[in-house]
Amino acid sequence: MKVFLLQNVSGIGKAGELVEVKDGFAKNALLPKGQAVLPGSQSAQRFVLDMKRGQIERDRQEKMYKEKAALLNGRKYTISVKVGDNGKVFGSVTKNDLTKLVGVNKDQIILDGQIKSLGNHEIGLDFGNNIRSRIIIEVVPHS
């Protein structure tokens, strides 16, 4: 019997695939558990429509991230921090500071630890789907 999988089923297939399974397995396991529907049913048509909508949304988001990555790539930002008489930075520049400065999500910033020194620091941005960008953060003393 052919069924349309609504979710990933180990050893059978992934969500959205049309697969051939034994009649008993489909009737006793997949269909009652809501893991699959029969092709041509309203549920299958609704699921296909939802998948298409989801793909359209993912494509839109990917395009937006590509544009944002291109816009930010190589851009230089300046942030001022308090420093002591010997030039040592009080505190540090964290992902939260960079989030406010650059306007991206905290989890999109690739930063090992914190920035604790003056000067230029190259920071990576990862928007997912292999969409990456690099920015330069210039840490200067607060005047």
For residues 81 and 98, state if they share a domain: yes
CATH number at residue 51: 3.40.5.10
Print the domain residue range for 89: 67-141
Tens of pLDDT, residues 77-123: 999 999 988 878 888 999 999 999 999 999 999 998 889 999 999 99
| Number of folded domains that form the chain | 2
Assess whether 17 and 77 both reside in one domain. no
Contacts of 120-127 with C-beta under 8 Å, sequence gap 24+, read 120/76, 121/93, 123/98, 125/69, 125/72, 127/65, 127/66, 127/68, 127/69
Do 73 and 129 fall within a single domain?
yes
Are residues 86 and 40 both part of a single domain?
no
Q: What is the pTM of this model?
A: 0.66
Residue 55 sits in the same domain as residue 99? no
Please, what is the end-to-end C-alpha distance for the chain in angstroms?
74
Confidence category of residue 63, pLDDT binned at 50, 70, 90: very high
Distance from C-alpha of 96 to C-alpha of 101, rounded to nearest angstrom: 9
Q: Are residues 93 and 50 in the same domain?
A: no
31 and 50 in a single domain? The answer is yes
